[in-house]
Structure 1
């Protein structure tokens, strides 16, 4: 495993992390605690130290609760925990951007995660009008001073949201999370240059394009999970045809396409860590192997072996 500094923070993060949206049940599988334990055990075995989650990944902080149960039986200091705020899911899913709501979300997340602090607490895909709330950021700064939050981040909802990205330093945020993969390269235009200028860490989410870049699917496939089944079938088929062309033209013979797709993201100087989801220890091990591909350079400005 290789490690990179997360922007201007003192966090040293594995270049491959564990995304945990799937623990909430939206990706076609309901997890048991034993299955989450096996995934996180394998992650630690292969050198992964970053877990990315959110308060709305499953009802009642479900994903965070799985992680918290695991952390309660392991060394908290071994892990970099990144979570998010701004949405709420109990009986139904809703936005929650008021200062008091976010303050409660923070306390509820800490309780679910069974920890005293969150390493990276991220504004979660909110509108610019929600972002432009000085009282919110003042409250978050106070919670940093209180030790509940170690660092702030911004998970931008649009790949081209340069408005929020440019204000990161002024908001005391040290990292940006954005969708970035071989099919979605928009962050390279404005977001990444701004991140490099401000020395912001970058977490690349959806690095496998919702599984499209795994190489497992072909045009005509019908998805049944809650996330991909909502997408237009024509759009799915167009993207999967693009994936077939990418595999034929760009992926070296004998190289697993999923590993290649993760390594492709990591070759950009702005990217600190990719956070693919995973449903099994075997997928964790496969994801981690991307760090060893030749296109993941040791010369990245913030890489340690």
Structure 2
């Protein structure tokens, strides 16, 4: 495994992290505690130290599964990133709630679910600019840093071209930008990444495999079950993406190189990107993702 400094936080994160949206049940699979233990144990064995989750991956469900695991391991071995700003209702249904006092309740609920006294990275989660520009919110969060509940703040931008929230990160004491970035979606390179570099912000690239389209598993015409989040994607857009993936595989990926590992390494070759946070359904996928670090040599 390789490690990079997460911007001005000075945290050294593994270049491959573990994204955990799937633990909330919206990837068409229900995860048991044993499933999660196996995934995270494999990650630790391979040198991964970064877990990314959120309050709305289930109703703190993903956090609870991680928390149960962490309670039986060394807390200091992991850098835990979670998020705030939503109330989960049911699969794919959540509402935005960025009121400062409600966010304090969300924070306490996340700490309880994660069974930890502190969160390493607490991220504003895909909110509108009006919610971001609430000084009361950031004042409250700074007080939680002083109280020891949070180590660092970050912003998970909903639009990968949200320059407003990126440019104002330093002003609100946000040290990290999380953004959709992959070989099929390079928009952050134009405006977001230059701002991150100027401010020395850490960058977490989410959806680095483009919802699995860059895994190399799917051909044009592939369909997904109703329980799979990709079932909600526009069919024509999915077809175009899979056709583009075929061309990328043919023209850019060396023979014998795993497509998914290539795609993760491709993200990490951008000097601004600190880490990628792909999801995974089992320990074998964790191991395959971790091998992408070898392609950086």
Please say whether Structure 1 and Structure 2 have the same fold, judged by a TM-score greater than 0.5.
yes
Cα displacement (A) at 1:231: 1.1
Asked if residue 27 in structure 1 is aligned to residue 27 in structure 2, the reply is yes
- The aligned residue for residue 254 of structure 2 is 252
Distance 1:81 1:133 in 2: 25
Asked if residue 167 in structure 1 is aligned to residue 168 in structure 2, the reply is yes
Distance 1:156 1:40 in 2: 26
* Cα-to-partner distance string for 1:37-88 (whole Å, 9 max, x where unaligned): 0000000000000000000001x20000000000000000000000000001
Secondary structure of the residue that 1:208 maps to in structure 2?
Answer: coil
Q: Residues 74-223 of structure 1: matches in 2 within 5 Å? A: 74-90=73-89, 93-223=94-224
Asked if residue 54 in structure 1 is aligned to residue 54 in structure 2, the reply is yes
Distance 2:136 2:229 in 1: 33
Distance 2:238 2:10 in 1: 40
Distance 1:88 1:263 in 2: 34
Distance 1:193 1:241 in 2: 30
Secondary structure of the residue that 2:81 maps to in structure 1?
Answer: strand
The one of 262, 265, 283 equivalent to 2:264 is 262
Cα displacement (A) at 1:284: 0.2
Q: Residues 219-298 of structure 1: matches in 2 within 5 Å? A: 219-224=220-225, 225-293=227-295, 296=296
- The aligned residue for residue 302 of structure 1 is none
Question: So what's the TM-score if we normalise by structure 1?
Answer: 0.95
Mean Cα deviation higher: 283-292 or 216-225: 216-225
Aligned residues: CA RMSD = 0.8
* Cα-to-partner distance string for 1:200-228 (whole Å, 9 max, x where unaligned): 00000000000000000011111123421
Secondary structure of the residue that 2:119 maps to in structure 1?
Answer: coil
Distance 1:174 1:234 in 2: 37
Distance 1:232 1:179 in 2: 18
- The aligned residue for residue 71 of structure 1 is 70
Unaligned stretches of 5+ residues in structure 2: none
Cα displacement (A) at 1:232: 1.1
Cα displacement (A) at 1:10: 2.4
Secondary structure of the residue that 2:205 maps to in structure 1?
Answer: strand
Question: Deviating runs (4+, > 6 A) in structure 1?
Answer: none
Secondary structure of the residue that 1:121 maps to in structure 2?
Answer: strand
Unaligned stretches of 5+ residues in structure 1: 298-305
Cα displacement (A) at 1:90: 4.1
Cα displacement (A) at 1:96: 1.0
